[in-house]
A = this chain, B = another copy of it.
Amino acid sequence: MIKVGIVGGTGYTGVELLRLLAQHPHVELSAITSRSEAGAPVATMFPSLRGRVGLKFDDPREVELRTCDIVFFATPNGIAMEQAGTLLDAGVRVIDLAADFRIKDPGVWEQWYGMRHASPELIAGAVYGLPEVNREQIKSARLVANPGCYPTAVQLGFLPLVESGLVDTSNLIADAKSGVSGAGRKAEVHTLFAEASDNFKAYGVPGHRHLPEIRQGLSIAAGKSVCLTFVPHLTPMVRGIHATLYARVSRETDFQALYEERYSREPFVDILPFASHPDTRSVRAGNMCRIALHRPQAGDTLVILSVIDNLVKGAAGQAVQNMNIMFGLDECAGLTQIPVLP
């Protein structure tokens, strides 16, 4: 059994990690920390875990995480970069579900995240945990930067196109819609039910923090710098991301076949029949990305629809997938839940 620790388990990625790991056949939940909730049973805060998770929240200053085999950081940005080093030195593997190690250029990171990076020396060794791109490096990674939710949906949707050089990478558009759980479990006015329900809006259009992450990933895949317009929207649903992607064809091929082949051995990417319309609930609570291709009016514009559950394939599920790869387990272990529909 793999001994697992979680730092910061009171948010949505934390409780989702607990849901998945408590059902994982090869995992022993060892400790979960929370400064504010220290001493309280986890199942008191999250009654869905009653009878399934017996842990209490530990005070982060008192618990010894260095005896874990792996530690997940389900913390706000800026925590893992302070604490990962000590754990890594002790031989513990680390997966950060926040953004601290996602951007390779510390200057870019600091510009978008508005703080000084505490461990720039760890960035180079961190592996960006998108298994569909970096599976080999993840196997031997000590530190994995788990991708953001939007970046997962958008990159998986664009990858076959930009890798193959068949579209104009100077003019990619990602119009993405996220459920409100993507904003986390922080008390804020704009994500109150009475603000976000029966309402729809874009946000962060001038520049969202996931933009440089997506641009970095797609540029690596393209072998050159790509230009992306990224517009996220807040959608009145709890879970789910729907990315609607637009690309201009620069060279013809059988795009459906391209996608099917690219992901033919991927357990968590599902290419739907051409011209399908995936809905977010078809992946709700499951670690799946479903993708469909369209070519409206047989024109030059490809439309790619890509859906994930932002808390699973977009966060906790992908983290467990990365853990499975790192420890040589079946990549699907603990991730076989069928999506909940309706």
Contact = CB atoms under 8 A, between A and B. Distances in A.
A115 interface: no
Interface string A273-311: 001011111111110001000101101110101010001
A191 B189 contact: no
Contacts of A244: 175, 202, 231, 233
A23 B285 CA distance: 15
A140 interface: no
Given A206-B296, A229-B299, A285-B340, A235 B235 contact: yes
B296 A205 contact: yes
Contact of A177 (B51, B233, B336): B233
B341 A15 contact: yes
Contacts of A131: none
Count chain B CB atoms within 10 A of each CB in A227, A301, A336, A340 and give the residue with the most: A340
A181 interface: yes
Nearest to A15: B341
Interface stretch (A97-105, A193-201, A252-260, A321-329): A193-201
A48 interface: yes
A198 B237 contact: yes
A229 B247 CA distance: 11
A151 interface: no
A240 interface: yes
A51 to B, nearest CB: 6
Nearest to A297: B207
A198 B197 contact: yes
A296 B185 contact: no
Which among A46, A52, A195, A235 has the greatest number of chain B C-beta atoms within 10 A? A195
Interface string A188-222: 11011111111111110111000000000000000
Contact of A171 (B22, B202, B285, B301): B301
A1 interface: no
Contact of A281 (B48, B280, B303): B48
A197 B235 CA distance: 11
A51 B340 contact: no
Contact of A240 (B200, B227, B278): B200
A20 to B, nearest CB: 9
Interface string A223-260: 00001011101011111101010101000000000000
Nearest to A192: B191
A267 to B, nearest CB: 9
A86 interface: no
6 contacts: A22-B338, A51-B270, A200-B240, A202-B244, A203-B277, A238-B342
Closest 7 CB pairs of A and B: A201-B279, A48-B339, A48-B341, A180-B193, A47-B282, A193-B196, A181-B194
